[in-house]
Chains A and B, each alone.
Chain A
Amino acid sequence: MLRLFPLVALTLALAITLPLRAQTDSLTPLQDALQSVQEHVASPSRATVPAVLRALLDADAPGTVDFLRAWGDREVYERAEDGLFFYALEAPDRMLALIDIDSGAEAGAVSTRAVNQIRPNAGVRREIGAALVSFELMHPEASRRLAALDNIARSPDAEQIEALTLARDAEDDSRIAARMDRLLDLLNARFATDTDVRVDAIDGLRGDISTEARRVLNQILQTRAEFAPEIPEGTNVARIRAPGSDIELIAAYATLAEAGLVPARPGRNAIRDALRRNVVDGAVGGIPVHQLTSDEMRRAAYAALEAQGSVAPLVTEDDMRAAVREVVFFDAYLEPDPAVTDAARDALDSTRTRISLWQFVSISLDALSLASIFFLAAIGLAITFGVMRVINMAHGEFIMMGAYTGYVVQTVIPNYTTSLIVALPLAFAVTFAAGVAMERLVIRHLYTRPLETLLATFGISIALQQLAKNIFGTQARPLTAPDWLAGAIQVNDVVSVASIRVAIFVMAIGFLAMLLYILNRTRLGLEVRAVTQNPGMAASMGINPDRINMLTFGLGSGIAGVAGVSIGLVAQVTSEMGANYIVQSFMTVVVGGVGSVFGTLAGATLIGFLQKGIEWFNPANTLAAQTFMVLFIILFIQFRPKGIVALKGRAAGD
């Protein structure tokens, strides 16, 4: 953190000279001032910004504030031939019309290569922003004031308290005023000079789980590892570290060695290198070289060398213990006042339980979101596989087809909302048709040969995948969500759910309800159940099994298409996306219990929560979570082969 006095001094000085700015000088002092730090202005870096600000402060030239804003906004150009700075307007033919910084007069048009656009990086811009804070806080535009507040939140500073207090008094927008109060509290907690004010402010943060509050508390509680013969007076000790338990003996000794207090401990390589240097007539310390193939022999040889005094002494564990015993290792707070750190520690501890609770909520919501994606991917299968007992390996490709339909619609209809509204039913129609076609042409010939259905649909699956590659290429295509679905629903700083995930959840629920309705409350559903249970009897009751099978298969496929659009919105559309979901979808259906929509729901929920649960325990490796999940499912099926929701009696079929 780079906190430099000139920055603040500049803001104050500028505030005073601001009214005089109208007076135009015939000289060009701003350009001159900039030229005195030409290099730092032209290629700015976070470390050199203060030098520029100091130079500008000294020059006290008019137009400084405008220049700083333009500089930060990348609107300043350096003319290559003489290094002078200009503003510029775009002119035709890749030309730029230069504008003099001081006078505002046109200074001729040049090619873009004759000037360098100065592009301060984010770090530099933050510094510039901090210098301009007091002006921006008074800016008539609310958005600029809010941006300035964000800037304070990002790089808080003791001197900002004053500017912020001034601005707070003048503020009449209640929303911004509240934000200012909040920031003042945070600033006071960290920087106020009076201990009571600080402790009060810190106490105000008790139980506050927002990121910025915890950030401030953690900043107050920053520590530094130190050691000393005994703890010096007035040190605000965070904790004492006992060598051997809190800090490893070797590490503790190394710290002392680094400080030059004890001789460094020769490691294995150091011993080897020392031996290598001391080979005399094919032997080291009297031991022939060819015998030095174990650590014991090497240490013996080293000890012999040590006796000769030609190498540094070997440090034994006892030596290390003795050396370490002489000093105390401890962590000291950077903040010297124990009252402040105690209050901060208290405040932070008070948030702990609530944070874990909210984190649990957050992970549960993620799991729910994952479960709803699995459910959407698998629900079509629940119909074709679960109800009709048809293994459709091309189900994943129907998902992909739906997603590509969404992509194509999006290229035709630029409005994301409209295109989404068009894409959903269209995806259903396309995959419904594909499903019906497949059922008529292939699957209906194979109803008695389930294993061969698996293979035939697999053939269709690879053909469709390659077809998609031929048509759309191998690059992943994005499906962009409309703006109203692009954000996130922010419960607090710990829990936030992307709106699109909520939408998918709602859609999954919708499909569940729709399917239950169709299967249980409509004539089609009745006929589907009849055909599934006893096609012969159903046919004799006047139901056309062919038609029912076709419709059922179309329905399952159509839902896959809609799922494809939803999945495309959160992930990526590729020709292989279906293959990524197919095995998991089958497992969802099997785990849940074949033949039951509720079973699929249970299966998806179980898998979603399981995967997130494993991720929770091992956040560094997502792949491990997937592996363990698959393993768990394999075991689960061993012990409950009929799935969670096992149908009983005749409905269970074979």
Chain B
Amino acid sequence: MIRKTLLTTAATASLMAAGAAHADCSIKVGVLHSLSGSMAISETTLRDVMLMLVDQQNAKGGVLGCQLEAVVVDPASDWPLFAELTRQLLTVNEVDVIFGAWTSVSRKALLPVLEELNGLFFYPVQYEGQESSRNVFYTGAAPNQQAIPAVDYFLEELGVESFALLGTDYVYPRTTNAILESYLLSKGIAAEDIFVNYTPFGHADWSTIVSDVIALGAGGKQVGVISTINGDANIGFYTELAAQGVSADDIPVVAFSVGEEELSGLDTSRLVGHLAAWNYFMSADTPENEEFIAAWHEFIGDENRVTNDPMEAHYIGFNMWVQAVEAAGTTDVDAVRAAMWGQEFPNLTGGTAVMGVNHHLSKPVLIGEIRADGQFDIISQTEEVPGEAWSPFLTESATLTSDWQTLECGMFDTATETCVQLTSNY
């Protein structure tokens, strides 16, 4: 618990083209991603993507005739620091919009500050839902855009009847599994056919758990594993799966937190056929994606770097924000929010993403099989699915809905027809 605070000015990465800066006309984009600590590996990439996008936009002439300026700060994977730096970005640096965060706990930490100071925030990572803040636009997947379609795939395509829900013990797996359990029960899967296990972050001793999963096969039903295992622990998990010879044909594993970045460096030859569900895969064969990857490789100067789902989320989020600012003619938060609703932008995987009035995107759901080269074979791609802020499969949120345009409420109870609260749960 070391306090890492900005006491003086932020490290300001000024990206203005020489001579284009006007003192009275500068639009500031806050970038709040951990550059050190445990989340740095995931979030540093997103910082780079933001810098690239800001660069590209400035090359196109900026926004409203002004150049964009990226203000990069480092919350160092320290959750209280996210709150502190959000306050700093909004009050000291006076940024017009913030792109950032990865973990749910960091988002929950900064939410109260954001709502207090009426900031504008774009959150790019798949998450557990059950939230719709006035000030946040969620460009990552909600459970119905990742978890539920993946389970449908298991049920319909693979005929899975017995489920092992393995997760790291934190908010995303807990909530996602709660939703999935309720969903599976509604699909006629018996409670005893759902095995749930939580492990700590960085868990290394997987042999017993993998044996337990294999033992489920004796029950006479097709077994499938839904993995919300996070980060480093996946290496031990997949190594043990491979060691015990669990093939994707016998016990398929679908993961929600394993993408190109996590697989890079791992020997995937023994994992071929296991699955992941995302809204984007690097292997998507579209002109937009080819262009994006080329630009990324050029910006980062390394042909081997992969792209992944949260990067696409930032790409869509940033471009939508630019369009919204152009449409509103100002960077004023309330005006931009109103302009964001219904904003459209092409996905990298084809089709068009649309921002809903509940601040979630409509995006296609992709399911990919791991290939030996660490990329994914896209084997299923749905139409665009609108993100649901509140899961209908949990009793406490079954009657909740979010509509910031007409109801002006992110947590509206349709049973009592009242707005439960205007702020969010943190």
By a beta-carbon cutoff of 8 Å, the part of chain A in contact with chain B is 1-2, 45-47, 74, 112-113, 119-124, 126, 150, 154, 211, 214-219, 221-222, 269, 273, 276, 359, 362-363, 366, 369-370, 373, 469, 473-478, 480, 486-488, 490, 493-494, 496-501, 567, 570-572, 574, 576, 580, 612, 615, 619-623, 626
With an 8 A cutoff between CB atoms, is B245 at the interface? Answer: yes
Additional A-B contact list (15), CB under 8 Å, known A487-B245, A499-B243, A572-B235: A45-B157, A46-B156, A74-B377, A113-B287, A122-B157, A211-B215, A215-B218, A216-B220, A476-B231, A494-B215, A500-B243, A572-B233, A572-B236, A620-B196, A623-B198
Q: Which residues of B contact A113 (CB under 8 A)?
A: 285-287
Pairwise interchain contact B156-A215, C-beta atoms closer than 8 A: no
Q: Which residues of B contact A214 (CB under 8 A)?
A: 218, 220
Q: Which residues of A contact B408 (CB under 8 A)?
A: none
Which of the segments B96-104, B129-137, B266-274, B314-322 contacts the partner chain? B266-274
Pairwise interchain contact B211-A478, C-beta atoms closer than 8 A: no
Can you give 21 contacting A-B residue pairs, CB < 8 Å? A46-B157, A46-B159, A121-B153, A121-B380, A122-B252, A126-B249, A150-B249, A154-B250, A222-B220, A469-B36, A476-B232, A487-B243, A488-B245, A496-B244, A499-B243, A500-B243, A501-B207, A570-B240, A620-B196, A622-B203, A623-B200
Q: Which residues of B contact A269 (CB under 8 A)?
A: 415
Pairwise interchain contact A366-B270, C-beta atoms closer than 8 A: no
Shortest CB-to-CB span from A367 to chain B, Å, is: 9
Q: How far is the CA of A122 from the CA of B265 in the complex (A)?
A: 25
Q: How far is the CA of A498 from the CA of B380 in the complex (A)?
A: 34
* Contact A363 to B214, CB < 8 A, known contacts A123-B157, A154-B249, A476-B232: no
With an 8 A cutoff between CB atoms, is B208 at the interface? Answer: yes
Q: Which residues of A contact B41 (CB under 8 A)?
A: 473-475
With an 8 A cutoff between CB atoms, is B38 at the interface? Answer: yes
Q: Which residues of B contact A366 (CB under 8 A)?
A: 205, 207-208, 211
Pairwise interchain contact A363-B202, C-beta atoms closer than 8 A: no
Shortest CB-to-CB span from A480 to chain B, Å, is: 5
> Closest 10 A-B residue pairs measured CB to CB?
A218-B220, A571-B204, A498-B243, A123-B157, A214-B218, A219-B220, A572-B235, A476-B232, A475-B41, A474-B41
Q: Which residues of A contact B105 (CB under 8 A)?
A: none
With an 8 A cutoff between CB atoms, is B209 at the interface? Answer: yes
Pairwise interchain contact A498-B156, C-beta atoms closer than 8 A: no
Q: Which residues of A contact B377 (CB under 8 A)?
A: 74, 119
Q: Which of B36, B202, B239, B248 contacts A580 (CB 8 A)?
A: B202
Q: Which residues of A contact B252 (CB under 8 A)?
A: 122
Q: How far is the CA of A165 from the CA of B232 in the complex (A)?
A: 48
Pairwise interchain contact A1-B204, C-beta atoms closer than 8 A: no
Q: How far is the CA of A211 from the CA of B207 in the complex (A)?
A: 18
Q: Which residues of A contact B156 (CB under 8 A)?
A: 45-47, 123
Q: How far is the CA of A231 from the CA of B76 in the complex (A)?
A: 66
A interface footprint on B339-368 (CB within 8 Å = 1, 0 otherwise) = 000000000000000000000000000010
Q: How far is the CA of A264 from the CA of B100 in the complex (A)?
A: 49
Shortest CB-to-CB span from A576 to chain B, Å, is: 7
Q: Which of A359, A493, A497, A621 contacts B197 (CB 8 A)?
A: A621
Pairwise interchain contact B217-A211, C-beta atoms closer than 8 A: yes
With an 8 A cutoff between CB atoms, is B293 at the interface? Answer: no
Q: Which residues of A contact B198 (CB under 8 A)?
A: 620-623
Q: How far is the CA of A362 from the CA of B214 in the complex (A)?
A: 13
Q: Which residues of B contact A626 (CB under 8 A)?
A: 200
Q: Which residues of A contact B397 (CB under 8 A)?
A: none
Q: Which of B214, B235, B239, B265 contacts A211 (CB 8 A)?
A: B214
Q: Which residues of B contact A480 (CB under 8 A)?
A: 267
Pairwise interchain contact B157-A571, C-beta atoms closer than 8 A: no
Shortest CB-to-CB span from A238 to chain B, Å, is: 14
With an 8 A cutoff between CB atoms, is B148 at the interface? Answer: no
Q: Which of A1, A493, A622 is most buried by chain B, counting CB atoms within 10 A of its CB?
A: A622
Q: Which of B36, B38, B211 contacts A496 (CB 8 A)?
A: B211
Q: How far is the CA of A478 from the CA of B271 in the complex (A)?
A: 14
Query: In B212-271, which residues have CB < 8 Å from any A CB?
Result: 212, 214-215, 217-221, 231-233, 235-236, 239-240, 242-245, 248-250, 252, 265-267, 270
Q: Which of A1, A218, A570 contacts B159 (CB 8 A)?
A: A1
Q: How far is the CA of A123 from the CA of B224 in the complex (A)?
A: 12
Q: Which of A211, A273, A473 is most buried by chain B, counting CB atoms within 10 A of its CB?
A: A211
Q: Which of B156, B236, B243, B377 is most buried by chain A, counting CB atoms within 10 A of its CB?
A: B243
Pairwise interchain contact B209-A622, C-beta atoms closer than 8 A: yes
Pairwise interchain contact B240-A619, C-beta atoms closer than 8 A: no
Q: How far is the CA of A273 from the CA of B239 in the complex (A)?
A: 53
Shortest CB-to-CB span from A132 to chain B, Å, is: 15
By a beta-carbon cutoff of 8 Å, the part of chain B in contact with chain A is 36-38, 40-41, 153, 156-159, 169, 196-200, 202-205, 207-209, 211-212, 214-215, 217-221, 231-233, 235-236, 239-240, 242-245, 248-250, 252, 265-267, 270, 273, 285-287, 367, 369, 377-380, 415-416
CB-based nearest B residue for A367: B208
Q: How far is the CA of A7 from the CA of B373 in the complex (A)?
A: 34
Q: How far is the CA of A553 from the CA of B238 in the complex (A)?
A: 36
Q: How far is the CA of A576 from the CA of B215 in the complex (A)?
A: 33
Q: Which of A74, A219, A478, A576 contacts B235 (CB 8 A)?
A: A478
Q: Which residues of A contact B38 (CB under 8 A)?
A: 474, 576
CB-based nearest A residue for B37: A474
Pairwise interchain contact A622-B214, C-beta atoms closer than 8 A: no
* Contact A572 to B158, CB < 8 A, known contacts A222-B220, A623-B200: no
Shortest CB-to-CB span from B167 to chain A, Å, is: 11
CB-based nearest B residue for A485: B243
Q: Which of B202, B205, B244, B249 contacts A122 (CB 8 A)?
A: B249
Q: Which residues of B contact A120 (CB under 8 A)?
A: 379
* Contact A572 to B232, CB < 8 A, known contacts A112-B285, A488-B243, A622-B209: yes
Q: How far is the CA of A612 from the CA of B249 in the complex (A)?
A: 29
Pairwise interchain contact A215-B219, C-beta atoms closer than 8 A: yes
Q: How far is the CA of A488 from the CA of B246 in the complex (A)?
A: 11
Q: Which residues of B contact A619 (CB under 8 A)?
A: 197, 208-209, 212
Shortest CB-to-CB span from B144 to chain A, Å, is: 20
Shortest CB-to-CB span from A226 to chain B, Å, is: 15
Shortest CB-to-CB span from A581 to chain B, Å, is: 10
CB-based nearest B residue for A147: B249
Q: How far is the CA of A469 from the CA of B44 in the complex (A)?
A: 14
Pairwise interchain contact A571-B236, C-beta atoms closer than 8 A: yes
Q: How far is the CA of A567 from the CA of B214 in the complex (A)?
A: 24
Q: How far is the CA of A493 from the CA of B232 in the complex (A)?
A: 29
Q: Which of B208, B221, B250, B270 contacts A486 (CB 8 A)?
A: B270
CB-based nearest A residue for B217: A211
Pairwise interchain contact A218-B218, C-beta atoms closer than 8 A: yes
* Contact A574 to B232, CB < 8 A, known contacts A370-B205, A622-B203: yes
Shortest CB-to-CB span from B345 to chain A, Å, is: 21
Shortest CB-to-CB span from B159 to chain A, Å, is: 6
Q: Which residues of B contact A493 (CB under 8 A)?
A: 214, 218
Q: Which residues of B contact A122 (CB under 8 A)?
A: 157-158, 248-249, 252, 273, 369
Q: How far is the CA of A154 from the CA of B214 in the complex (A)?
A: 14
Q: How far is the CA of A28 from the CA of B346 in the complex (A)?
A: 40
Shortest CB-to-CB span from B344 to chain A, Å, is: 23
Pairwise interchain contact A119-B379, C-beta atoms closer than 8 A: yes
Q: Which residues of B contact A574 (CB under 8 A)?
A: 202, 232
* Contact A211 to B197, CB < 8 A, known contacts A363-B208, A476-B231, A487-B245: no
Q: How far is the CA of A306 from the CA of B262 in the complex (A)?
A: 61
Pairwise interchain contact A215-B379, C-beta atoms closer than 8 A: no
Q: Which residues of B contact A612 (CB under 8 A)?
A: 208
Q: Which of A123, A211, A473 contacts B158 (CB 8 A)?
A: A123
Q: Which of B40, B204, B214, B265 contacts A477 (CB 8 A)?
A: B265
Pairwise interchain contact B265-A623, C-beta atoms closer than 8 A: no
